[in-house]
A and B are shown apart, each in its own frame.
Chain A
């Protein structure tokens, strides 16, 4: 009797686990199909050049203020922290190089990714979900246009290409924020600060920053497009799509950042 019950419980748990694994794999499957459909079709005419132009403005250009402000303030705060922490070890002179390396390798891409996830992933999800709910996506089909090719491909491609550019700008502004705080508030000599900033930066720091950014851009746009496109009917559907897109994009950014850091910097 007791043994039987235990076996039942095990079965129930295994069953629940199995169901979760099945739904997760089927979600992954449809995600992979979705993205590969978008990217495959983007290589065939018609190319919808105008849509790409619109996305460059909406995603690339319009994200600059958010990214710039975030990077500037974080760079400044980072300089203050490293200075006060470093002073305990008499290592205040490391401020320029740690600000620069920290920004390039970690803070630049991750902050940029998270800020753009909040802005772009949600905007994409809300826009596509609204189009789904108001039958605009069905209308595209009846107008002989592939909605994944027309709507999804430009958003994924442009975000993946432009997040490295945004991150590059963010890196420069962040490092400048550190420079400004260090020279104005902490008494660093400007020319010496600049010299030691560049002394320790390696090419690998910059490329890793841009590679991370491209991957984050891909994740952000894919989550936005996927949840928006698959939204269910009603106003609830739009809200749920937006939340799901931002939360999953943010978690994926942080998780993949850890994996990428392991891959790129472990040795």
Chain B
């Protein structure tokens, strides 16, 4: 897909609509994420941000169309999409029954190309350093880690297969302010360094500010406001103003 200015789109949704038993959660949403952009989706809790991700990931039924690098995403071709894709879940979603290094290299170990355990461990250690963790963490189970460490490990897992596209669902929810800001910085650094197209979903403006180039503020299941992240605080949009204002205690 290219838009009027000729820019190529990594992800594009056209009239995306999602309803649960006649309750419309996402209402004809048109979203365009250009290559190399960090796009933020902000909005109060329960506005359908996570549901939007589920739609793009094909984890739930929806109406309308979603395009990936210009190709319409359907059941059959999601495989290619997942191959170039990584995701950091809200609760980290690390596999309880696997160690940290098995979690991180899950995609490499279980894909068609075989790699040795020793190679996988090597890669895991490298990725752990990348997300600011010690290599001793390797052998631990996810339950032995703090929330911030779990987030870092989950980020390492998402990065393991060198994705060109990364999604983040509330990357800092449940973390203290200091840990939050260090996770935000980490994400921002890695995304810029590897030129990864990313979609960040958050109700937290500080996350969006730290990571994103562009922002969409969700209102009534559609776009309430869109613009540059740096211009968000000057936006002349009633609900967005109220939303940002209510957070500055």
Q: Which residues of A contact B (CB under 8 A)?
A: 45-46, 48, 54, 130-131, 134-136, 138-139, 141-145, 150
Q: How far is the CB of A155 from chain B (nearest CB, A)?
A: 13
Q: Tell me which of B59, B96, B110 contacts A143 (CB under 8 A).
A: B110
Q: How far is the CB of B86 from chain A (nearest CB, A)?
A: 7
Q: How far is the CB of A190 from chain B (nearest CB, A)?
A: 47
Are B111 and A142 in contact (CB-based, < 8 A)? Answer: no
Are B83 and A144 in contact (CB-based, < 8 A)? Answer: yes
- Residue of B with least CB distance to A138: B59
Q: How far is the CB of B154 from chain A (nearest CB, A)?
A: 8
Q: Which residues of B contact A142 (CB under 8 A)?
A: 57, 82, 85-87
Are A46 and B112 in contact (CB-based, < 8 A)? Answer: yes
Q: Tell me which of A46, A134, A144 contacts B91 (CB under 8 A).
A: A134
Q: Which residues of A contact B106 (CB under 8 A)?
A: 143, 145
Are A144 and B89 in contact (CB-based, < 8 A)? Answer: no
Q: Which residues of A contact B110 (CB under 8 A)?
A: 46, 48, 143-145, 150
Q: Which residues of A contact B68 (CB under 8 A)?
A: none
Are A134 and B82 in contact (CB-based, < 8 A)? Answer: no
Q: List 17 A-B contacts (CB under 8 A).
A: A46-B110, A48-B110, A130-B96, A134-B91, A134-B93, A135-B91, A136-B95, A138-B89, A139-B94, A142-B57, A142-B82, A142-B87, A144-B79, A144-B110, A144-B111, A145-B107, A145-B110
Q: How far is the CB of B208 from chain A (nearest CB, A)?
A: 21
Residues of B in contact, count (CB < 8 Å)? 24
Q: Give the one of B82, B90, B95, B110 with max A CB within 10 A.
A: B110
Are B93 and A136 in contact (CB-based, < 8 A)? Answer: yes
Q: How far is the CB of B246 from chain A (nearest CB, A)?
A: 27
Q: Which residues of B contact A131 (CB under 8 A)?
A: 95-96
Are A138 and B57 in contact (CB-based, < 8 A)? Answer: yes
Cα–Cα distance between A141 and B87 once the two chains are bound (Å): 10
Are B57 and A144 in contact (CB-based, < 8 A)? Answer: no
Give me 18 other A-B pairs in contact (C-beta within 8 A), A144-B107, A144-B110, A144-B111 excluded.
A46-B110, A46-B111, A46-B112, A131-B95, A131-B96, A135-B90, A136-B93, A138-B54, A139-B94, A141-B58, A142-B57, A142-B82, A142-B86, A143-B157, A144-B82, A145-B107, A145-B110, A150-B110
Are B79 and A139 in contact (CB-based, < 8 A)? Answer: no
Q: Tell me which of A45, A141, A145 contacts B59 (CB under 8 A).
A: A141
Q: Which residues of B contact A (CB under 8 A)?
A: 54, 57-59, 79, 82-83, 85-87, 89-91, 93-97, 106-107, 110-112, 157
Cα–Cα distance between A54 and B98 once the two chains are bound (Å): 11
Cα–Cα distance between A138 and B85 once the two chains are bound (Å): 13
Q: Which residues of A contact B59 (CB under 8 A)?
A: 138, 141
Q: How far is the CB of A148 from chain B (nearest CB, A)?
A: 13
Given A143-B107, A144-B79, A138:B112 Cβ within 8 A: no
- Residue of B with least CB distance to A142: B87
Cα–Cα distance between A46 and B96 once the two chains are bound (Å): 21
Q: Which residues of A contact B85 (CB under 8 A)?
A: 142
Cα–Cα distance between A202 and B59 once the two chains are bound (Å): 53
- Residue of B with least CB distance to A58: B97
Cα–Cα distance between A139 and B92 once the two chains are bound (Å): 9
Q: Which residues of A contact B86 (CB under 8 A)?
A: 142
Q: How far is the CB of B179 from chain A (nearest CB, A)?
A: 20
- Residue of B with least CB distance to A135: B93
Are B83 and A139 in contact (CB-based, < 8 A)? Answer: no
- Top 10 A-B residue pairs of the complex, sorted by shortest distance between their CB atoms: A139-B93, A135-B93, A144-B82, A142-B87, A143-B107, A135-B89, A136-B93, A143-B106, A145-B110, A134-B91
Cα–Cα distance between A131 and B96 once the two chains are bound (Å): 9
Q: Which residues of A contact B58 (CB under 8 A)?
A: 141
